[in-house]
C-alpha cells in the first residue's frame, strides 16, 4: 500500500455527537479524524553571491514548476530544523537558518507557512527525489512565469525587501485586491 | 460517541510500504493517519490600562491553572482570526489583533504556537466553557506560581519586553539551559 492508495479510513463528513462542527468519520470503524491545519516550513536560501536556491518540482501539484525548498513539518521537529531538512531533501542543500522571513496563512487549504531566510553553506546542490532540477538564480534570472505557488512570489519579494536588514517583523499575506484581506 | 470515546481507528505504529518513517495505521481498515504538528494560536491581550487577560482552565491538562486564551487552530481559518476566536471561546473577549508577538516551537508535543499581541475592545469578559474564571491582571498581580505552561511565562515576558515597540521580530523559545537550544 503506497501513500496514494489508502484503503478505507475516515471518509464521511458528519457532526459527531457532542461536537459543534463537521469531522471526517470512518464508516467502517467509527474513528474520528481531527483534521488540523498543516504547517509548511521552507526557506529563501541564498549563496554568498546572493543567488537564490530554487527547485523544479518532480511531483504534483504544479509538477515542472519552480518552488522554494519547503514542505510539511514533521512530528517532533522544530520549525527551523524542518526548513533545513526540506532544503536537504529537495536540493541536497546544507543551510543555516538566519531568521523568520514570513508567515503566510493559506486558509483555503488550511496551511500556515513559516518561511525562513537562510544561507547556503556549500554551492554543491543536486536534486532530491521530489525535484527534477535545482538551481541558484540571480534576481533577474528567476523563472517568474514558472513559479509554482503565489507564496513563492510573496516570499521572494519579501526577501528582496529585507535585503541587508535584521530584526524585522515577518512578512504576511499581501493585501487581497478582491476581498480586501 | 463523544470525542473522548473513539472506537477503532489508527492504533498500530508501523512503517508503511514505500515510506521511511513510522505512521499510525488502523488494523481494521488499513487507513494511514498522517500525524502532523499542530498549530496553537493565542494572544497576550491587554485592556486600555495595560492589564492582561488570563483564563483559569476548567479542563485538563493543567486544570485550575492560569493561561492565555489560546487553542488549536481550526481548518479554513487564518491564524490571527483563530487567536481572536479562542479569546471569544475562552473568555467571551472581543479583541483586535495588533501583531505577531512570538512563535514557539514545542517539538516534544509537536506544537508550533503563534502568539499575537492584541487589544481588548471591551472589559466585559466572562468564562467560556473551558474556563472557570477569567480576569485582567496588572503585571505584579499575575499569579506567577499558578501559570499553566512555560510558554505562558515566555509570552508574558515577551509582551513586557516589547511594550511600546512596533515592527519587531517575534520572540522565540528562550535558550535552553540544559540542551543549549
Ligand atoms: Zn475505519
Ligand atoms: Zn479503521
pLDDT in tens, B79-116: 999 999 999 999 999 999 999 999 999 999 999 999 99
The residues facing B70 across adjacent strands are B42
Q: Do residues A45 and A52 touch, judged by C-beta distance below 8 A?
A: yes
Residue of A75, A116, A167, A176 best to disrupt the B interface, most CBs of B under 10 A: A75
Tally the C-alpha atoms within 13 A of residue B15's C-alpha that lie toward its C-beta: 4
ipTM of the complex, rounded to two decimals: 0.85
Q: Which helix (H) or strand (E) is B32 found in, with range? A: strand B32-33
Tell me if chain B has a CB within 8 Å of the CB of A133.
no
From the list B164, B55, B21, B178, the residue with the least C-alpha distance to B99 is B164
- Find the angle CA(A154)-CA(B163)-CA(B169) to the nearest 5 degrees: 25
- Whether the per-residue pLDDT at B3 is higher than 70: the answer is no
- The residue ranking higher by pLDDT, B142 or B19, is B142
For residues A52-58, give the mean pLDDT.
98
Reported as half-sphere exposure (CB side, CA atoms, 13 A), residue B101 has a value of 29
The grid coordinates of residue A118 equal 537562510
| A22 phi-psi bin (left φ>0, alpha ψ -120 to 50, beta other) | beta
- Give the mean pLDDT of A105-121: 97
Distance A29 CA to ligand 1 centre (A): 4
The pLDDT score that the predictor gives to residue B172 is: 97
Beta strands A38-46 and A111-120 are parallel
Under DSSP, is residue A10 helix (H, G, I), strand (E, B) or coil? coil
Q: Among B3-7, B15-19, B170-174, which stretch is predicted with the lowest mean pLDDT?
A: B3-7
Q: Quick one: pLDDT at residue A177?
A: 59
Contacts of B80 in chain A (CB under 8 A): 105
Q: What is the pLDDT of residue A37?
A: 95
Q: Which of B45, B47, B115 is nearest to B80 (CA)?
A: B115
Q: What is the mean pLDDT of residues A161-176?
A: 95
Mean pLDDT of A104-113: 96
Has residue B20 got a pLDDT over 50?
Answer: yes
In CATH, the architecture of A38-161 is: Alpha-Beta Complex (3.90)
Mean per-residue pLDDT for A29-38?
83
pLDDT at B17: 78
Instruction: Give the per-residue pLDDT at B179.
Output: 55
Confidence of residue B180 (pLDDT cuts 50, 70, 90): very low
Cα of B25 to ligand 2 centre, how many Å? 8
Q: Could you tell me which chain A residue has the CA closest to the CA of B167?
A: A169
pLDDT band at A146 (very low <50, low <70, confident <90, very high): very high
A27 touching B, CB under 8 A? no
**Total H helices, total E strands in chain A:** 2, 10
Alpha-carbon distance of A100 to A108, in angstroms, equals 23
Amino acid at each position: 500500500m503506497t501513500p496514494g492508495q489508502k484503503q478505507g479510513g475516515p471518509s464521511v463528513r458528519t457532526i459527531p455527537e457532542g461536537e459543534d462542527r463537521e469531522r471526517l468519520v470512518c464508516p467502517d470503524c467509527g474513528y474520528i479524524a481531527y483534521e488540523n491545519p498543516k504547517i509548511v516550513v521552507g526557506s529563501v536560501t541564498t549563496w554568498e553571491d546572493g543567488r537564490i536556491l530554487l527547485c523544479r518540482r518532480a511531483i504534483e501539484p504544479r509538477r515542472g514548476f519552480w518552488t522554494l525548498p519547503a514542505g510539511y513539518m514533521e512530528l517532533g521537529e522544530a520549525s527551523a530544523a524542518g526548513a533545513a531538512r526540506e532544503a536537504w531533501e529537495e536540493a541536497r542543500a546544507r543551510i543555516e537558518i538566519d531568521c523568520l522571513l514570513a508567515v503566510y496563512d493559506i486558509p483555503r487549504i488550511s496551511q500556515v507557512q513559516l518561511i525562513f531566510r537562510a544561507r547556503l553553506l556549500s554551492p554543491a546542490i543536486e536534486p532530491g527525489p521530489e525535484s527534477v532540477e535545482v538551481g541558484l538564480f540571480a534576481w533577474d534570472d528567476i523563472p517568474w512565469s514558472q513559479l509554482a505557488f503565489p507564496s513563492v512570489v510573496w516570499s521572494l519579494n519579501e526577501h528582496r525587501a529585507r535585503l541587508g536588514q535584521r530584526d524585522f517583523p515577518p512578512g504576511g499575506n499581501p493585501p487581497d485586491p478582491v476581498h480586501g484581506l
